[in-house]
Structure formats: structure tokens, C-alpha cells
Amino acid sequence: MWLVLGEAVLVYGSIIAAVYLRVGFNDAPFELVIKNGYWKAGAAAFFCLASFYLFDLYDFVVMRDRRELVLRLIQALGLAWIGLALCFYLYPAMMLGRSIALIALPLALGFMVTWRLSALWFFGHPQIGERILIVGSGDLAVEIAREVLNRSDAGYRIVGFVGNDSDLLGKSLINPRVIGLTEELEDVVSREAIDRIVVAMSERRGQLPTDKLLQLSLAGRVSIEEGASFNERLTGRVALNMIRPSWLIFSGRGRQARAATLLRTAGHRLAALIGAILSLPIILVTAILIKLESRGPVFYKQERVGKNGKTFVLTKFRSMSVDAEQDGPVWASKHDHRMTRVGRIIRKIRVDEIPQFWNILRGEMAFVGPRPERPHFVAQLAEQIPYYEQRHLIAPGLTGWAQIKYPYGSSIEDARHKLEYDLFYIKNHTLLFDMIILAETFKIILFGRGAQ
């Protein structure tokens, strides 16, 4: 949010500065007040921020590479200016003036590069951020430390580990070292100015320093967090190797308020109805193309597993040949030879999913949720992946958290990773969360990412 606010101020300020540079300090107030220059600058800033979002400039993985960052900034500002030119053509009253735009563009680019490189330095600085001490020295502790090190932008800095094995003292487990024993916990917290303790012990009976943690917690000297919860908040997924049945039971959502549930359902169905109406021309063109290319039906119907394990018939545009599964069900793969030419295109731009609006209107699906899987694969995956059937606690979705966070999966290991994101969504879903997922989905469709 600080990045968004900062960039809004910088882009807006660049346009205002360009007005002063172009018309002079005497005439600038007239241009800005009488001719609505302030409002026009605000519209231009909105176009720029939307373009930054489309080019993943709020994805901190991109921010780590300076060359990629500068390249994407240039591309994003270029797209924003093209969008503004189109807007000016359609609504001439919105026009800022060509000379003002030409001055504002290099100004904004210079400010943005400086701002972003400063943010990159700030977020990655080892001395800036919340100081974390991990209680534990096993695989669980190392995995949490690795996730923190991979997300330096999150503002956490691993100071070290404390454990029960004196032989590990001073040894590096991943990058931070073991800096003390659990019996020295209070001294370590004071000496290292610890802000947060993350408890990451796989076996706690007789080893967890309960009294010392309780004393620190009651004294309010430090925040204390369970390892699985911390990892979930950091990564946006529920790591299967970190959770226990008791953690799922006691951290469950319980019954949602009836009003919130009704609002969410109504919102999803309204979005599906609007989507179905607006996509009618696309539906007609797609149906004609499918019939012209190959024999067989336009729509492909397939049994899927929905909420509470109930099956329903999912409808899609047919993208494969009629005899694609004559030897039984198989996962789709990249460059699948069973796909038709039209099918390859409609999958790339996600048009094959449009008929599922009907499933949403019927209440069999939601707009956002875990993707519905076929009974054949559900039975197979449930045997090999713990908690897999928990993904059926809510209605399946046309898009979902797992779909935008993890690429298309075609193996049991992929299904395991996607389940971690599905469980996070099931535990935390709200209407606002759904809107964020839909915005990300729109961006993925626009650039044709991840289709298979």
C-alpha cells in the first residue's frame, strides 16, 4: 500500500510539475483549476497505476531484478500513455496537451526508477524489519527460515535459532545460526532485541519451553506465533507438512454469518449473469468455429465433484477431439496432441470456460473457489494426499487462489501444492478476497498465462 500511495503521488506530481514547466508559474493555476487540470492529472495517475498492476510491478519477485524492473516500468508507462491517448481521442475534454504529456513521461519515469530502487534497497536491507527468533532446529524450523529468506520484502529478518541440542550451538542451519538453547530463551530475546518468536518444533512434548514462552508473552516483551500460522500468513498457503488435525479444528472458520454468505453467493451469481450476457457474441462465434473445424458437439460435459462431495455435470466448450479419452481419463498436458486448433486458442484465452457461468447460476459452482476435479482423480488423490477431501467443504470455483498462485498441474505433486493454496482460501475466504482473485484472474487472461 505504501508503494501504491507513493507512486500515485509521484505520477500525479510529475504531471502537475509538467504543467508548471510548460505554461509557467503564472498561467499554471488557470490550467489546473479552471481547465480541471487536477482532475485530469488524477485520471492519468490512475491509468499509470493500473498499468503497473498489469505488468506485475507489485509482485516483489519482479522487484528483485533491477534490469527487469526498469524494463517493466518503461513498458507500463508506455501502455498507460497509449491508454491515455485513446481516452483523449474519445473524450477531448480530458486532454492534458501533447507537450505536457511529453514532459511528464520522462519526469515520471525518472521519479519511478529512483523510488523503486530505493524501495528495493529498503525492503532488502538486513538491518531493517522485524527481528525473528525461531524456536526449534529441525526441518520445520529450517523450512520456515527458508520461506522468510525468500520473502525479504515481507519485512522479517531471521536473527537465529534456539534449540535443545547443545552440539548445534554456533552452527549454521541454512544461513542464520543456532544462537542459544531454549533454556536461555529470555537472555537471547533481550540480547538480540527480538521482536517476534516463531515456535517451529515438530515434537514439542517435554521440549517446548512453555514456562519461558508464557512469561515472555504475559510480559508483553515480544510477539509469539505458532510456526504453521506464521508460515500461512507469509506464504498464502497452508503447508501440509506443518499442520495437525487439531490445528485445523481449532483454527476453522466455524459458521459464517448468514448475511455474509448470502451476499457472497448473490455477488457470484450476479457476476455470472452479467458475464453470460456480455459474452453472448463470443459464445456464438466460438460455437460456429468449433462446428466448422471438427465433428461432434459444441459443448463438452463432464462429471465433477462439488461441495460436500456431491457430483454435478460441468459444461465447457469442446477443445479436444471427440475420441480424446477413449482409453480413459488422463490429465491434460502441455502441447496436448488431443487438442483441436480452435481448442488450443480458446483454452489459451480461457473462452472454453464461459459455459460454466450456467453452473454458477445453478448454484453448483461459485465464481471463486477450488477448481472442481473429476471423481476418478479425486479418489486417486485422496488416497495419496492428506486433507485432500477438505477442499470440498465449499463450492468449487471458475477461478481460485490456487489457480492464480500456482501453474497448471498435471501430477500428484502439483495437486499437493495446489491443495495448500485451496486450504488457505477455504480458511480465509471473504468477498474482498474473491475480488482480489478476480482482478488477478483478469490479468492472467489478458496476458494468456498458464493455459494448458
For residues 383 and 285, membership in a common domain is answered with yes
Residue ranges in 209-328 assigned as alpha helix (H)? 210-219, 227-235, 245-250, 258-278, 280-293
Asked if 209 and 309 sit in the same domain, the reply is no
Domain-located, residue 243: no
If asked whether residues 316 and 418 sit together in one domain, one would say yes
Give the closest residue to 117 by CA, choosing from 56, 73, 80. 73
What pLDDT is recorded for position 360? 94
**Residue 9 belongs to what domain range?**
2-124
Contacting residues for 422 by C-beta, under 8 A, at least 6 apart: 370, 391, 400, 401, 402
Positions in the chain short of pLDDT 50: none
pLDDT tens-place string over residues 140-158: 999 999 999 888 778 889 9
* Helices of type H across 125-250: 139-150, 185-191, 210-219, 227-235, 245-250
Residue 24 lies in a domain: yes
309 within domain boundaries: yes
Q: State whether 302 and 411 are in the same domain.
A: yes
Residue 245, in any domain of the structure: no
Do residue 152 and residue 44 come from a single domain?
no
Same domain, 411 and 267: yes
Are residues 85 and 114 located together in one domain of the fold? yes
Classify residue 249 as exposed, middle or buried by CB count within 10 Å of its CB (0-12, 13-18, 19+).
exposed
Q: Do both 177 and 269 map to the same domain?
A: no
Same domain, 114 and 186: no
Distances (CA, A) of 294 to 315, 340, 341: 18, 8, 10
Residues 96 and 188 in one domain: no
What single DSSP character describes residue 136?
-
Q: Tell which residue, 235, 10, 236, has the closest CA to residue 117.
A: 10
Q: What pLDDT was estimated at residue 372? A: 93
Query: Which pLDDT does position 247 carry in this prediction?
Result: 61
Same domain, 74 and 116: yes
The CA-CA-CA angle for residues 86, 281, 432, to 5°, reads 70
CATH at residue 158: 3.40.50.720
Give this prediction's pTM: 0.79
- Cβ-based burial of 220 (10 A; exposed 0-12, middle 13-18, buried ≥19): exposed
d(CA 452, CA 127): 43
- 452 falls within a domain: no
Q: Please tell me the total count of domains within the chain.
A: 3
- For 261, residues 6+ apart whose C-beta sits below 8 A from its C-beta are none
**Residues 189 and 216 sit within 8 Å (Cβ to Cβ):** yes
Residues 72 and 91 in one domain: yes
350 occurs within a structural domain: yes
| Domain contains 284 | yes
